[in-house]
Amino acid sequence: MKYWRTPLDLDQVKVPHGDVYVVAERCKGCGFCVEYCPKDVLALSEAFNRKGYHPPEVVRHGECVNCNLCEMICPDFAIFSMPSDAPADVVAKEKASHDAKEATVVS
């Protein structure tokens, strides 16, 4: 976004960044996350999941602003984002939680 003037607090504002994680086997390929992402971070992949759908993939790494819109709009809870500065153990725990939910849904 281009401004005609520089905001007064430009040096004080820190833009949050996040990492997007997709649980591909849970996705049904509706494309809501791709369509509503404000930074166009996601695109539907060419690969298929077990259900035969094209899950989204991250195409612009480092551009996510961690708005969580993809997470809120996903009807299948197949996508989530975490702050980029989140500790690795928190991210691993969140991924394991989603994998455990997937295992209970599939079984």
Q: What is the DSSP letter of 46?
A: S
SS3 content of the chain, % helix, strand, coil (to 5): 30, 15, 55
Q: Dump pLDDT digits (tens) for 47-83.
A: 999 999 999 999 998 899 999 999 999 999 999 998 8
The confidence score (pLDDT) of residue 102 equals 53
Average pLDDT score over the chain: 84
Predicted TM-score (pTM) above 0.85: no
Three-state DSSP class for residue 44? strand
